[in-house]
Structure 1
């Protein structure tokens, strides 16, 4: 195998792996968004969403500073 063939093969394999990871990330992102939408439709909210001042969390600690 010549030096050029080795380099082109290495670049080609690297490009395929990077493309596969990118596609996998996009598919996984769509799946997570779909799950979030389903949870929000069921009334389950994100933890990071601000609560009303004065309410307590499950541990009895006051929230909302």
Structure 2
């Protein structure tokens, strides 16, 4: 750590905090993705249809 100079502890701590935040954000996105897919599945099972699945005749 001496090669980083007198601020080595600060530099290492800053990088560790950034790495932790990136991992937390990745986890949060993964959990939210699963929740959104589950909600979409529930809506489709209840009869709600996505606009992209409708044919052009259904939109008239």
Instruction: Give yes or no for TM over 0.5.
Output: yes
Could you tell me which residue of structure 2 aligns to residue 45 of structure 1?
A: 49
TM-score between the two structures when normalised by the length of structure 2:
0.79
Question: Judging changes above 3 Å, is the alpha-carbon distance between structure 1 residues 56 and 36 closer, same or farther for their aligned structure 2 residues?
Answer: closer
The structure whose RCO (Cα within 8 Å, separation 6+) is larger is: 1
C-alpha deviation, 1:56, in angstroms: 4.8
Please list every run of at least 4 consecutive aligned residues from structure 1 whose deviation after the TM superposition is greater than 4 angstroms.
none
- 2:34 corresponds, among 30, 38, 47, to 30
Quote the Cα distance in structure 2 between the aligned partners of 1:29 and 1:50.
24
* Unpaired segments ≥5 residues, structure 1: none
Q: CA RMSD in A?
A: 1.5
C-alpha deviation, 1:43, in angstroms: 1.3
- Which structure features the higher share of helix residues? 2
TM-score between the two structures when normalised by the length of structure 1:
0.73
